[in-house]
Structure 1
Amino acid sequence: MHGIKRTRLTPQAAEAKKLKEQSKIEAYLALEQDVLGRKRRREYDIESLDQNTRLLDLNPEFYTIWNYRRNILLGLFPSLSPEEVVSHLTTDLRLTTSYLLVHPKVYWIWNHRKWCLESVPDGPGDTVKWKEEFWKGELKLVEKMLDADSRNFHAWDYRRYVLSSLPTQTPLSDELKYTQTKIESNFSNFSAWHCRTKTLSAIWEKEGTSQQEINRIKDEEFELITQALWTDPNDQSGWLYHRWLIGSEPPLEVLKREIKNIKDLYEAEPDSKWCINALAHYTLLLFKDPSTKQEDQSKLKEEARSLYKRLEEVDVDRKERYKDMGK
């Protein structure tokens, strides 16, 4: 880096460093062989669990070792009290928390947390409340993870899993507010937009929402997404959400309104490939609408063809694809 004086290692220091690194590699390989040997011999005891932990500390992405860890714990649990089982599971939750701080997108770590939570035994008294404490703790953890990286799709998937698993269900309206908070802080948060589609769909299905009410809610969503599109017309996230709102058979007045709005944006951002792409797609939807007059169809087809020609210019890497679509 600029401004930092480089120091050259002496031959003796370089050799010492090399030997130290070689020693670490040899120690790791010896530990790996020990743990894999225990796995082959199906050794499910505390000593094997400790060795398993040592190896995961060095390499938490080693999914085979996670599988072995679960088998060790399953081998230990029958001889333990519920309190001792919970103690082991709590230790593993703490362990994976420390790993996730460094490796927040490793699937195997998230997967082991799910297994821990699903393995919590029934507790004394009110079992629902007993288990709910564990799930609520997970919700707090995943919120911290998303505060650190609001676009971590592993954390978003895990959040949906936790919410669906809570013994006492959290209102879906709360999740809708949460996604809006994340979106308003960063319009390019694809995972938050995606979660919003899932949440709205779940609300409509659960409440049996009428199509008229869905259209009204979508109109409010169009206002939110329009802010995002004008803020960054080159970000794919907002355009994908906009297309979800439009759907395959939108009301004609909505389709015409959104085409007009996007044309306004296109005038301001003539090189935005996502803007042109959306405009071409919606123009073809309008062309296919049963109420579109025949004399207007040829005009719409030519508009779409012209837009795909424009895409060939602004998105050269996909030129052949746009040629095919233009045909």
Structure 2
Amino acid sequence: MHGVKRTRQSREAEEARKLKEQAKLKDYLLLTEDLLSRKKKKDWSKEAFDLATKLLHSNPEFYTIWNYRRNILINGIFPSSSVEEINSILSSDLSLTTSALKAHPKVYWIWNHRRWCLENVPPGPSSPTGEQTQGWRQKNWEREMYVVERMLDADARNFHAWNYRRYILSLFPTPPPPTQELKYTTHKIESNFSNFSAWHQRSKILPLIWEKEGKEREEEMRELEFDLVRNALYTDPNDQSAWLYHRWLIGPHPDPILLTREITSIQELLSEQPDSKWCMESLVHYTLLLISLTPETEREEMKSECRRLLAELAGVDPCRKNRYQEISERLGV
């Protein structure tokens, strides 16, 4: 930091630090060698399990050890454990992954082990009538929603956490209504329009609501979505997230009147942001859609506008110059 005087370590302190790091590395390598040897021998003992815990604390990205850990549980520990003990072990492993994710929130192997733990939680103990309850599983899913929301509070664009959230919602014994999840994505988007994962989540939730509430309600909600995404486009026309959502909202087979309206809106934005690549790309994309819905005799003016925009794009985005030229050539002279 500027203005803060740095204290230089003595030679003895530096040597002591290096020796400590070397000893730590040596211990890590010996532990790794031991565990890989045990894995090869199919050692499913509690001792091997505890050593795996120790190694994963040091290196939670070691996917081979996560795999070995699951084999120890399946082949060595679970067969001799009661359902209560299995539930307790899996709860401890969920706590282990929670700690690991705080420092490594985007490591696939940690998320993967967390899923495995949840999928192997046994049903709850038998009720007085002899029926097994879903108490443990329900509590676990509720806790997972809390954990993943804290992860997204820390990093709202962590796509691993968003994927995990979708996974939880798909398997939740008593899932929350889709409108609640829609409200959650609205909050995340309004906090940061550049949240691609939140926009994507929205595209998964809205069809569920529209299917349930009917065509008239869908049309009303689509208009509200256009207002939301238009606000995002005008706030930051160079951000890709909202443009991709806008394309999803338009869809592959749009109404020509809707398409014309959105083209006009984007043209207005382009007049304010004349170098906006995404404005120009979207205008080309939507104009090509409109051309496909327009009689042959009325297409030339639109084709000419596309060629003009593609020529400008070649200058604004030279890395994709060949792509733009190819699209222009397909439009003909």
* 2:247 match: 243
Spell out, residue by residue over 1:222-251, the C-alpha distance to the aligned partner (whole angstroms, 9 max, x if none): 111001000100000000000001111101
Q: Which of 156, 169, 174 is the matching residue for 2:162? A: 156
* 1:170 match: 176
User: 2-side partners of 1:178 and 1:9: how far apart?
Assistant: 50
* 2:85 match: 84
Query: Shift in Å at residue 5 of structure 1?
Result: 2.6
User: 2-side partners of 1:316 and 1:4: how far apart?
Assistant: 45
Paired residues of 2:121 and 2:136 also in contact (CA < 8 A): no
Matched residue type, 1:24: K
User: 1-side partners of 2:200 and 2:222: how far apart?
Assistant: 15
* 2:275 match: 271
Which has the higher mean CA deviation after the structures are superposed, 292-301 or 100-109? 292-301
User: 2-side partners of 1:59 and 1:44: how far apart?
Assistant: 21
* 2:56 match: 56
Spell out, residue by residue over 1:136-162, the C-alpha distance to the aligned partner (whole angstroms, 9 max, x if none): 000011011111111111001101111
Query: Shift in Å at residue 282 of structure 1?
Result: 0.6
Query: Shift in Å at residue 213 of structure 1?
Result: 4.5
Query: Shift in Å at residue 321 of structure 1?
Result: 1.7
Matched residue type, 1:131: R
Note the 1:7-156 alignment, pairs <5 A. 7-74=7-74, 75-124=76-125, 125=127, 127-156=133-162
* 1:326 match: 328
Matched residue type, 2:62: F
Query: Shift in Å at residue 295 of structure 1?
Result: 3.8
Instruction: Give the SS at the match of 1:96.
Output: helix
**Identity percentage over the alignment?**
56
User: 1-side partners of 2:301 and 2:243: how far apart?
Assistant: 25
Q: Which of 238, 255, 262 is the matching residue for 2:266? A: 262
User: 1-side partners of 2:13 and 2:136: how far apart?
Assistant: 56
Query: Shift in Å at residue 23 of structure 1?
Result: 1.5
Note the 1:185-196 alignment, pairs <5 A. 185-196=191-202
Matched residue type, 1:317: C
Aligned residue-pair number: 323
* 1:3 match: 3
User: 2-side partners of 1:50 and 1:37: how far apart?
Assistant: 15
Instruction: Give the SS at the match of 1:127.
Output: coil
Q: Which of 224, 230, 233 is the matching residue for 2:234? A: 230
Query: Shift in Å at residue 215 of structure 1?
Result: 3.5
Which has the higher mean CA deviation after the structures are superposed, 103-112 or 196-205? 196-205
Structure 2 gaps of 5+ residues are none
Query: Shift in Å at residue 100 of structure 1?
Result: 0.5
User: 2-side partners of 1:189 and 1:232: how far apart?
Assistant: 12
Given the alignment of the two structures, is residue 217 of structure 1 paired with residue 221 of structure 2, yes or no?
Answer: yes
Query: What TM-score comes out, normalization by structure 1 length?
Result: 0.94
Q: Which of 191, 206, 222 is the matching residue for 1:200? A: 206
Query: Shift in Å at residue 208 of structure 1?
Result: 7.9
User: 1-side partners of 2:167 and 2:281: how far apart?
Assistant: 34
* 1:317 match: 319
User: 2-side partners of 1:192 and 1:53: how far apart?
Assistant: 34
User: 1-side partners of 2:141 and 2:277: how far apart?
Assistant: 43
Query: Shift in Å at residue 10 of structure 1?
Result: 4.1
User: 2-side partners of 1:315 and 1:301: how far apart?
Assistant: 20
Spell out, residue by residue over 1:38-94, the C-alpha distance to the aligned partner (whole angstroms, 9 max, x if none): 111111121111100110011100111000111111121111111111110111011
Paired residues of 2:266 and 2:283 also in contact (CA < 8 A): yes
Matched residue type, 2:174: T
- In angstroms, what is the RMSD of aligned CA positions? 1.5
Structure 1 gaps of 5+ residues are none
User: 2-side partners of 1:91 and 1:222: how far apart?
Assistant: 45
